Amino acid sequence: MPFPTERPRRLRATPALRSLVREQRLHPSQLVLPMFVKEGLDSPREVTSLPGVVQHSRASLVDAAHEAVEAGVGGLMLFGVPAERDARGSGADDPEGILNLGLRDLADAVGDRTVVMADLCLDEFTDHGHCGVLVPDGPRAGTVDNDATLARYTSMALAQAAAGATVLGLSGMMDGQVGVVRAALDEAGRDDVVLLAYAAKYASAFYGPFREAVESTLVGDRRAYQQDPANRREALREVRLDVEEGADVVMVKPALPYLDVLSDVAQEVDVPVWAYQVSGELAMVEAAAANGWLDRERTILETLASVQRAGADAVLTYWAVEAARWLRRG
């Protein structure tokens, strides 16, 4: 008797079979919602280039956090939008600054039911829009001073931990940032605080709508410290260094354009690997769906599945609440 011809599609014949043999299963708890809180707002303000995303007032931030928790979202990543900025980003470590106030609000409201996370970077707080302190004079004037920036990150970390953040997202791409922040937290008795290193963060064109959300004042670009989109091996070097310095979790950002890098990183390290589905990724899908070119729900869930399939243990996505509800619906 001849051996029967293999027919893999037999396992795809019914919804029940497809569900039974599915290799990856995204859960709402693996989704993290990025949120923006703006100083001086009385009500939420729409971000025009990010459909469905708003800058929150402190009150609406708490309401939205409760909504996310009820949907089963695993964490909340908070960004602050201050009313005033200066060269050193003074508002970043001010206990009464908008980001630290927002963190305190979230920790008080939902800190026992979800993971409260803080973006640890200066770009939202500096008047020049860069992620660090600039060299004031000399031949390198106007470039980011790595070591001076690390001192500011240390101060930010202590302030964010005091405000109630459980996870600090080191997103500035400064050399040595994980090591100095870990040492400062441990010395202050805060070895309970988790460090999420944006270890492979690329100088991407996909960040445009985010800059509207944080009202970025950036002049120029960040290519001198964020990674070149053409480089793959370099990402693994960055990741190894961050893990050696004490990173508890590492991040690849953006997600979809860098699935190869995400896969490399997931195979390289034994700490959790996350990915950030950034603003430009959302904007593309929303624009296409609005024109009737894509099925919105199917496309969103497919993008999330692809990021998980490439190796992400969790995904930061602006669709977190909506996707969590779809996943729970089944």
As a whole number of angstroms, the distance between CA 198 and CA 316 comes to: 12
Burial tier of 219 (Cβ tally within 10 Å: 0-12, 13-18, 19+)? exposed
The residues annotated as belonging to the active site are 201, 253
Q: How far apart are CA 305 and CA 312, in angstroms?
A: 10
Q: What's 88's DSSP letter? A: T
- The one-character DSSP state at 173 is -
At residue 223, the 3 state secondary structure works out as coil
Dihedral (CA of 87, 170, 34, 99) sign: negative
Q: Tokens 């302030």 sit at which residue?
A: 159
Cβ neighbours of 216 (radius 10 Å): 17
Alpha-carbon span 227 to 236, nearest angstrom: 11
Q: Where are the alpha helices (DSSP H) in 124-207?
A: 146-163, 177-187
Q: Is the peptide bond before 254 cis (omega within 30 degrees of 0)?
A: yes
